[in-house]
Homo-oligomer: A and B are copies of this chain.
Amino acid sequence: MTHTGLVGTTEVSIQVRAGLPLLADECCSTLLRDPINASQAADLARILKALADPTRLRLVSMVAAHQGGEACVCDLTDPLGLTQPTISHHLKILLEAGILTRDKRGKWSYYALVPAALEALASVLGP
């Protein structure tokens, strides 16, 4: 469903609040090299919590794989078998976590993936 894309106002996604302790230096991740402090743990947990839900994982996956790399709510409601308010609710959580962006064009809201978000997360966890 690609509804003629005209000019849209891309709202800069709500920022990743206090930022993430990203950018591992070399091999080892930030998580495993040294004990992280409470603040870093809270920030990381905030992002992980946004992803730690089956519905939201499928939303991220569906948005990323959707044609054009973006999808509107109406594209996502039916495949998941949930109501529109529930989908909007989950998308908002992913938006506020900095994982998705929202672009309102006409009557539709197009959600797209923020590639750097998951990459940063992976770099914190991985080797």
Q: A interface vs B, CB < 8 Å?
A: 2, 4, 6-7, 9-24, 29-42, 44-45, 48-49, 51-55, 57-58, 60-62, 64-65, 69-70, 79, 98, 101, 103, 112-123, 125-127
Contact = CB atoms under 8 A, between A and B. Distances in A.
A53 B21 CA distance: 16
A23 B10 contact: yes
Contacts of A13: 14
Nearest to A11: B19
A54 B9 CA distance: 31
Given A21-B115, A49-B52, 13 more contacts: A4-B33, A7-B39, A10-B17, A10-B20, A16-B115, A32-B60, A32-B118, A35-B62, A41-B57, A45-B53, A122-B125, A123-B126, A125-B125
Contact of A19 (B12, B18, B79): B12
Given A64-B31, A64-B32, A114 B37 contact: no
A44 to B, nearest CB: 6
B21 A6 contact: yes
Contact of A20 (B12, B40, B62): B12
